[in-house]
Amino acid sequence: MLEKYGHGGDLETAAEKYGRPPGAFVDYSSNMNPFGPPAAVGHILRTRWQEAAAYPDPAARELTRRLAAKHGVDPACILVGNGAAELIDLAVRVLRPAVTGLARPSFKEYEDAVRKTGGTVRDIPLREEHGFELQLEDLEAAAPHCDLLFLGSPNNPTGRLLPQAVREKLALGALAAVVDEAFLDFLPEEEELSLAAAAAGSPYLIVLRSMTKFYAIPGLRLGYAVAHPDRIRAMKELQVPWSVNAFAQWIGAAVLEDRSYARRTLEWLPGARAELLAGLRQLGVLAWDSDTNYVLCSLRALGWTGRRLQEAMGRRGILIRDASLFPGLDDSFVRLAVKLPETNWRLLAVLAEVFAEKQQRERSGAAAVTGGAAHAQEAAFAVKPAAGRYAGGLAAAGPSAVKPAADGPLSTAGGTVAAVPSRRRGSVVMLQGTASDVGKSLLTAALCRILLQDGRRVAPFKSQNMSLNSYVTPDGKEIGRAQGMQADACRIPATTDMNPILLKPKKDMVAQVVVHGKPYQDLDARTYRERYLPEAEGVVKEALERLRTVHDVVLIEGAGSPAEVNLKDRDIVNMRLAGWADAPVLLVADIDRGGVFASLVGTLEILTPEERARVRGFVINKFRGDVTLLKPGVDWLEARTGIPVLGVIPYLPQLGLEDEDSASLERKLAETARSGPPVKLPPDILDIAVLRLPRISNFTDADPLAFEPDVRLRFVSSPEDFGQPDAVIIPGSKNTVDDLLYLRSSGLDRKLLAYAADGGFVTGICAGYQMLGARLLDPLLVESDKQEIEGLGLLPTETVFAAEKRTVRASGISRLYGGFPVEGYEIHMGRTTFLEPVEHPFLLQEEGSAGLPDGAAMAGGRVWGTYLHGVLHSDDFRRAWLNRVRESRGLGPLPAELRFTERREAAFDRLAEHVRSHLDMQRLYEMIQEQESAILT
Which residues are part of the catalytic machinery?
Answer: 766, 869
Question: How many degrees, rounded to 5, is the angle at CA 815 between CA 809 and CA 818?
Answer: 115
Query: Which sign does the torsion angle of CA 409, 413, 417, 420 carry?
Result: negative
State the CB neighbour count (10 A cutoff) for residue 548. 27
- Report the C-alpha gap between 180 and 162 in whole angstroms: 11
Query: Using an 8 Å Cβ cutoff, are 754 and 716 in contact?
Result: no
Look at strands 416-417 and 412-413 and give their pairing: antiparallel
d(CA 220, CA 31): 15
187 contacts 291 by C-beta, under 8 angstroms: yes
Q: Phi and psi (nearest 5°) for 684?
A: -100, 15
Report how far residue 923's alpha carbon sits from residue 934's, in angstroms, rounded to the nearest whole number: 17
What distance in Å separates the CA atoms of residue 839 and residue 861, rounded to the nearest whole number? 9
Q: How far is CA 905 from the centre of its chain?
A: 31
DSSP secondary-structure letter at 530?
Answer: I
**Helices (H), ranges, 508-554:** 525-527, 533-550
Q: Which residues of 457-496 are buried (b: 16+ CB within 10 A; e: fewer)?
A: ebbbbbbbbbbbbbbbbeebbbbbbbbbbbbbbbebebbb
Question: Which residues have CB under 8 Å from 191's CB, separation 6+?
Answer: 71
Contacts (Cβ under 8 Å, ≥6 apart) of 249: 56, 57, 60, 62, 63, 80
Closest CA relative to residue 548, chosen from 679, 388, 349, 402: 402
Q: Where is 788: in which H helix or E strand? A: strand 788-790
Q: Quote the CA–CA distance of 863 and 840 in Å, as a whole number.
A: 12
Q: Is 53 helix (H, G, I), strand (E, B) or coil?
A: helix
Q: Map 377-420 to HEC letters.
A: HHHHHHCCCEEHHHCCCCCCCCCCCCCCCCCCCCCEECCEECEE
Amino acid identity of 742? Answer: Y
DSSP conformation class of 793: -
Contact 641, 601 (CB under 8 A): yes
User: What is the rounded distance in angstroms from the CA atom of residue 117 to the CA atom of residue 98?
Assistant: 9
CA 337 from centre of chain: 22
CA nearest neighbour of 600 among 431, 433, 440: 433
DSSP structure class, residue 926:
H
Pairing of strands 615-623, 645-650: parallel
* 3-class state of residue 900 by DSSP: helix
Residue ranges of the alpha helices (H) in 680-734?
719-722
β-pair partners for 762: 728, 863
Nearest to 696 by CA among 732, 748, 742: 732
